[in-house]
Amino acid sequence: MPRLTPPRPYHHGDLRAALLKSAERTLREKGVGALSLRELARDVGVSHAAPGRHFKDKQALLDALALDGYDRLDGALSGADRPGLSFEERMTALARAYLGFAVDHPELLELMFARKHDPHSSAQLAGAVDRSLGSLTRTMAEAQERGEIVAGDPERITMVAAASLHGLAALIASCALDADEAMAGLEEHVHLLLHGLRPR
């Protein structure tokens, strides 16, 4: 009687982390269209049903991947923030952390923004967005209270700053700008952003 191959066990240590790591690698190498729970299961060596214990469908996987990205971005921004510095120095440090994340994870950042605006995204993801990107808005509001920047809607001011930094990241991703060159000129970039282009 032929020997039956035993089914692959579900237990995989931290399966959720392994699936997210595999998903991010697939996202980076092949794009979001190549992501599937079945392929991820094959990649990490578990049964095709095992990922269902963590992600009910592909949308849940994308939310989890974006959530992990926002948590990591929040960690990078929190680690770089130095409230005791001058506002310009503080913004330069935050800009360096944001641009560094964007340069290292362009595909993930694109997914993060796409999931942020998806009406079906989870409340947990919305909270992560507020923790990471909301911290920049709060930094702007604090600077306004101290009279360091102009009055106005802090969310609008943050959007202008974020658009400038994200524009740099997009230029790097499209190979129109060298990453090292952008990082080297970031202090001047933030200075121009904060002081404007009008002669003084």
Question: Which CATH number does the domain housing residue 21 bear?
Answer: 1.10.10
For residue 31, tell me if it sits in a domain. yes
Task: Show the domain range for 18.
Answer: 12-55
User: What value does the mean pLDDT take over residues 45-65?
Assistant: 92
Which pLDDT score is estimated for 129?
Answer: 87
**75/146 same-domain check:** yes
**27/95 same-domain check:** no
For residue 158, tell me if it sits in a domain. yes
- Please tell me the distance from the alpha carbon of residue 142 to that of residue 111, in angstroms, as a whole number: 30
Name the domain count of the chain: 2
**22/74 same-domain check:** no
For residue 49, tell me if it sits in a domain. yes
**181/93 same-domain check:** yes
User: What value does the mean pLDDT take over residues 157-184?
Assistant: 93
- Please tell me the distance from the alpha carbon of residue 19 to that of residue 21, in angstroms, as a whole number: 5
**47/140 same-domain check:** no
For residue 39, tell me if it sits in a domain. yes
Q: Is a pLDDT exceeding 60 seen at residue 38?
A: yes
User: What value does the mean pLDDT take over residues 71-93?
Assistant: 93
Using 50, 70 and 90 to split pLDDT, how confident is the model at 5? very low
**44/122 same-domain check:** no
Using 50, 70 and 90 to split pLDDT, how confident is the model at 13? low
Using 50, 70 and 90 to split pLDDT, how confident is the model at 200? low
Contacts of 137 (CB under 8 A, 6+ apart): 154, 155, 158
**47/76 same-domain check:** no
Using 50, 70 and 90 to split pLDDT, how confident is the model at 12? low
**93/181 same-domain check:** yes
User: What value does the mean pLDDT take over residues 68-95?
Assistant: 93
Contacts of 179 (CB under 8 A, 6+ apart): 103, 172
Note the pTM of the prediction, 2 decimals. Answer: 0.85
For residue 36, tell me if it sits in a domain. yes
For residue 6, tell me if it sits in a domain. no
**37/78 same-domain check:** no
For residue 7, tell me if it sits in a domain. no
For residue 3, tell me if it sits in a domain. no
User: What value does the mean pLDDT take over residues 41-51?
Assistant: 92
Contacts of 129 (CB under 8 A, 6+ apart): 70, 116
pLDDT tens-digit readout, 97-153: 999 999 999 999 999 999 888 887 888 888 888 888 888 999 999 999 999 999 999
Which pLDDT score is estimated for 8?
Answer: 47
**Residue 109, domain CATH:** 1.10.357.10
Q: Is a pLDDT exceeding 60 seen at residue 4?
A: no
Listed residue (186, 157, 156) closest to 171, CA to CA: 186
**46/71 same-domain check:** no
